[in-house]
């Protein structure tokens, strides 16, 4: 099963063999929003760059995740690049929250507008990257037998690009069609009138359910943990709204930088416990109706478990109201972790889908899946016949894409052995013992809990600044000190440990992949604190770094 899912995306072959086929100042791995902007910035510094991208096109997440219902849950005026005023002014979004095809079209527009493709080698997977002490740079190998040398290597390989299939026996015996949401086919998938099973009810699964339900003959939703799913405020973009954004983009984006997530919501200013029950319910109800974020209504959902409980209970009430069958409603209701501790899901009529005759919720905690077979799957209670299985089981997040590359630093140390007990990195950007290797959104970055595109721009700008400094100082290499890396790793762990995020098993803390060290992979302290720290290490003359 694991092999089947990953075979088309992995082909490990060691670097260091054969002769060098190309020399560049920098190699960038991945042509999602991070890799594209990294290329743009490095080019502007005058560097020669080669980008390797496993997919056949740009866009990363939005190239791979073409499943029915895939859509952004950050407003598109915010989830778009800010680096070019012209780009910002000329691009028009058709909806407030763009769907996958439009975001992919935007990525392609950016690639064309800035002539990025000439430096991107598509359908090429980087399999190895070895630091050469003599060369003071990186030798990078691919599954197409490239073996290139570059002084700098930037991993823009994505936090959510490495698929995580479920470990359930018998999958290879299944005779029907199956697809992972994160590697959805480019050709339309025929679901009409067929018996479809969706495994997983995270952000991907909850987006897919309402859309698939309308097409499938019968839809089984296999749920292990219920999620809190809030209504999407999506609607058509109006010229007035876009016009205000475009006119004030600088100010609005600067304001967003000052928030914890980098996303501008309609923020409340009081504690949820300082208002009457009636006032709070009215506020929640209004936000539920309009799709305005419930978690922004009051200031203390992430710091006070009692305040959090008020929002959680309101959502539970909505589930009970919307879902007509009380037993199904009860199974859909999260009860054992705070709202927001797993990533909030934003839906378009998820709960309503369970009122349809053709949709059935299968609670696989009560009725675990034992195995797949030729005709579908077998739970502990019954056989369920399926024509199509949709795996919405998520990703080996943050470290997965890096773990699939044979990365070796000083003295040939494999990154896998350095990270065997969990990843250590400085600011999610660099790793000690791995000079001139940068990670965009690496472990310890707050990106996953933010408007990721905004975090990407910040990280890429920081990396470009660091590369520029190496050159300006007439040095060959830079790496963080072990002490700085140790301190930041502890800061990330401590922020996680003392937060509500530790009260749920999620990919934020490595809990979704069997055998993965349980450690906070995301800095939960917010982007404001993080950005200040990043600026401080530059302002103090990169004291936490070793330049050679």
- The residue range among 151-159, 282-290, 362-370, 477-485 that interacts with ligand FAD, by the rule CB under 6 A, is 151-159
**Between 55 and 510, CB nearer to ligand FAD:** 55
- The residue range among 222-230, 231-239, 297-305, 450-458 that interacts with ligand FAD, by the rule CB under 6 A, is 450-458
Positions in 100-129 near ligand FAD (CB under 6 A)? 125-126
Angle between helices 452-472 and 527-539 (to 10 degrees): 10
Supply the minimum distance, in Å, between the C-beta of residue 222 and ligand N01: 6
- Binds 125, which of ligand FAD, ligand N01, none (CB < 5 to 8 A, cut-off by type)? ligand FAD
Among 25, 35, 178, 221, binds ligand FAD (CB under 6 A): 35
- Binds 30, which of ligand N01, ligand FAD, none (CB < 5 to 8 A, cut-off by type)? ligand FAD
Positive or negative, the Cα torsion across 185, 224, 320, 508? negative
453 binds ligand FAD, rule: CB under 6 A: yes
Hunting for tokens 């800095």 — which residue is that? 523
Positions in 196-235 near ligand FAD (CB under 6 A)? 204
Dist. CA 332–CA 223, nearest whole Å: 8
Which residues does residue 140 pair with via DSSP β-bridges, in sequence order? 129, 148
Angle between helices 33-44 and 100-113 (to 10 degrees): 10
- Does residue 464 contact residue 538 with C-beta atoms inside 8 Å? no
Angle between helices 249-257 and 527-539 (to 10 degrees): 90
- The residue range among 46-54, 281-289, 318-326, 431-439 that interacts with ligand FAD, by the rule CB under 6 A, is 46-54
Q: State the Cα angle at 36 between 67 and 150, rounded to 5°.
A: 125
Bridge-based pairing of strands 147-155 and 137-142 is antiparallel
**Between 28 and 229, CB nearer to ligand N01:** 229
Residue 27: name the closest of 161, 157, 145 by CA: 157
Dist. CA 462–CA 472, nearest whole Å: 15
- Binds 232, which of ligand FAD, ligand N01, none (CB < 5 to 8 A, cut-off by type)? none
Positions in 382-421 near ligand FAD (CB under 6 A)? 401, 405
Instruction: Compute CA distances 348 → 5, 163, 200, 255, whole Å.
Output: 28, 24, 17, 28
Closest CB to ligand FAD: residue number:
60
- Binds 437, which of ligand FAD, ligand N01, none (CB < 5 to 8 A, cut-off by type)? none
163 binds ligand FAD, rule: CB under 6 A: no
Supply the minimum distance, in Å, between the C-beta of residue 139 and ligand N01: 32
Dist. CA 439–CA 166, nearest whole Å: 27
439 binds ligand FAD, rule: CB under 6 A: no
Per CB under 6 A, residues contacting ligand N01 are 71, 73, 160, 166-168, 181, 199-205, 207, 224-225, 343, 346, 364, 392-395, 507, 512
Supply the minimum distance, in Å, between the C-beta of residue 337 and ligand N01: 10
Among 6, 61, 195, 436, binds ligand FAD (CB under 6 A): 61
504: left (phi over 0), alpha (psi -120 to 50) or beta: beta
Residue 491 main-chain phi, psi, to 5 deg? -60, -45
Neighbours of 90 (CB within 10 A): 11
**Between 168 and 275, CB nearer to ligand N01:** 168
**Between 165 and 525, CB nearer to ligand N01:** 165
Structural tokens at position 65: 């995740």
- What does the binding site for ligand FAD look like in residue numbers (CB under 6 A)? 29-35, 52-55, 60-61, 63, 65, 70, 72-74, 79, 125-126, 156-158, 160-161, 204, 401, 405, 440-441, 451-453, 456
């Amino acid at each position: 099963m694991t092999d089947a899912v990953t075979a088309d995306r992995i082909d490990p072959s060691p670097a260091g063999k054969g002769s060098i086929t190309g020399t560049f100042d920098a190699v960038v791995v991945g042509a999602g929003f991070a890799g594209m902007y990294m290329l743009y910035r490095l080019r502007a510094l005058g560097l020669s760059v080669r980008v390797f991208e496993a997919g056949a096109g740009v866009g990363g997440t939005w190239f791979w995740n073409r499943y029915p219902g895939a859509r952004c849950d950050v407003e598109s005026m915010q989830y778009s690049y800010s680096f070019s005023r012209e780009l910002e002014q000329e691009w028009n979004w058709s909806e407030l929250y763009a769907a996958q095809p439009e975001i992919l079209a935007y990525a392609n527009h950016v690639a064309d507008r800035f002539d990025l493709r000439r430096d991107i080698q598509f359908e090429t997977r980087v399999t190895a990257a070895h630091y050469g002490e003599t060369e003071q740079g990186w030798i990078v190998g691919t599954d197409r037998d490239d073996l290139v040398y570059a002084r700098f290597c930037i991993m823009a390989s994505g936090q959510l690009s490495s698929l995580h299939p479920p470990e359930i026996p018998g999958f290879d015996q299944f005779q029907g069609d199956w697809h992972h949401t994160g590697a959805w086919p480019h050709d339309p998938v025929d679901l009409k009138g067929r018996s479809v099973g969706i495994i997983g009810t995270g952000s991907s699964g909850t987006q897919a359910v309402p859309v698939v339900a309308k097409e499938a003959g019968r839809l089984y939703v296999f749920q292990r943990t219920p999620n809190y799913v809030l209504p999407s405020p999506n609607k058509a973009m109006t010229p007035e709204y876009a016009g205000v954004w475009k006119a004030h983009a600088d100010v609005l984006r600067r304001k967003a930088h000052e928030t914890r997530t980098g996303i501008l919501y309609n923020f409340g200013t009081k504690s949820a416990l300082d208002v009457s029950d009636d006032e709070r319910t009215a506020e929640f109800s209004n936000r539920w109706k309009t799709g305005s974020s419930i978690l922004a209504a009051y200031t203390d959902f992430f710091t006070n478990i009692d305040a959090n409980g008020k929002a959680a209970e309101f959502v539970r009430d909505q589930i009970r109201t919307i879902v007509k069958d009380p037993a199904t409603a009860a199974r859909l209701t999260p009860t054992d972790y705070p709202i927001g501790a797993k990533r909030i899901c934003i839906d378009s009529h998820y709960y309503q889908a369970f009122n349809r005759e053709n949709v059935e919720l299968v609670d696989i905690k009560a009725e675990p899946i034992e195995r797949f077979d030729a005709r579908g799957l077998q739970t502990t209670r019954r056989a369920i016949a399926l024509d199509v299985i949709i795996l919405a089981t998520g990703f080996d997040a943050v470290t997965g894409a890096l773990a699939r590359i044979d990365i070796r630093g000083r003295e040939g140390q494999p990154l896998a052995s350095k990270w065997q007990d969990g990843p250590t990195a400085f600011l999610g950007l660099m790793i000690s013992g791995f000079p001139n290797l940068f990670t965009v959104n690496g472990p310890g970055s707050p990106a996953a809990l933010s408007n990721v595109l905004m975090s990407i721009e910040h990280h890429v700008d920081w990396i470009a600044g660091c590369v520029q400094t190496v050159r300006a100082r007439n040095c060959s290499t830079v790496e963080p000190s072990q002490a700085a890396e140790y301190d930041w790793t502890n800061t990330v762990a401590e922020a996680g440990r003392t937060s509500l995020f530790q009260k749920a098993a999620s990919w934020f803390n490595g809990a979704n992949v069997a055998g993965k060290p349980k450690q906070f992979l995301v800095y939960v302290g917010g982007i404001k604190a993080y950005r200040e720290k990043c600026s401080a290490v530059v302002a103090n003359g990169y004291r936490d770094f070793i330049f050679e």
